[in-house]
Amino acid sequence: MTLPTRQVGPFTVSAIGLGCMNLNHAYGTPPSAEDGARLLNRALDLGCSFLDTAALYGMGASERLIGGSVMHRRAEFTLASKCVLDMVEGKRTLDGSPAAIAHTLDGALQRLGTDHIDLYYLHRLDHNVPAEDSVGALVRAKEAGKIGALGLSEMSAATIRRAHAVHPITAVQSEYSPWVRNPEVAVLDTCRELGIALVAFSPVARGFLAGAVTTGDYATNDIRAAMPRFVEPNLSHNLKLAERFNAIAARIGCTPAQLSLGWVLSRGDHVVPIPGTGNIQHLEENLATMDVHIDARALAEVDAIFAPGAIAGGRYSAAMQAQIDTELLPEEIAT
């Protein structure tokens, strides 16, 4: 099967990709390896040709899952992974030094069972290492044939420009959905200006705009339990916004997840959402967004629901926010 495509630098990818974090990491008990393999192969069967993973996800388990499940279909997809964030001796680390990047990349290649990753991101900015040094490590990896293109994740417009001056950046990954609008401060336009793809992770708001969150009762190891807008007293307020959002989806005949993905796709031809899921039915629903027509009225109504200041709570805890370089919204600065 085929899906409409968009460009991520030299790569022609399905307009909706697949984020692979959910398969091993972050949202409670992940699916079994067998179910994860079935989902990955189903994604390729449906024409999803952009798989995104990272060394951090499941302490390398996500990369190993891809390596053992779909690398025999390597010609069917563009492969992206990330460094800087990693697990070392069981502990999460943030290290943008060239030595750490080289070490993480070599481990990723081994776990994936390949000698080449199409798109390799700096997962976060290490404020202790000049961005130019971290990008330089990726340039050397490209020259060695280990990666094909360079990416950045959760970085500001200023950092993007610094990195782009060292070597052209192919993609910038950032959280982007109707209720996370930080890229609109500067990153969205900067990417458009420089010819960089914006790869939108969590485009259905970590399940919030897909009907997956109705209470604050989260499973063990679910990272949403530590995110202010997902817990009380903020959650009840935000669920009222979700009710209004869901009503729009019902009126136009699509699911909430499809409305959220359609909204993200509408933000520019250089935007590629990568929703994650461990459920094949949800995967099929997400990719079917390409068959849904969302009119200008519905998009405007979504904007009105999530107008500046409408959402209660920040998207990250203070500790997590300290690792994010992307610009804050005016209401986040005020608090």
Give residue 212's identity as a one-letter amino acid code: A
Q: The tokens 């405007």 sit on which residue?
A: 300
CB-based contact 78:118 (threshold 8 Å) = yes
One of 57, 120, 121, 176 is an active-site residue; which one? Answer: 57
CB-based contact 60:53 (threshold 8 Å) = no
CB-based contact 115:156 (threshold 8 Å) = no
CA distances from 205 to 25, 46, 98, 179, 273 (A): 16, 23, 33, 7, 11
**Strand ranges, E, within 241-324:** 271-273
- 224-241 in b/e form (b: 16+ CB < 10 A) is beebbbbeeebbeebeeb
- Please indicate whether residue 176 is annotated as part of the active site: no
Active-site residue list: 57
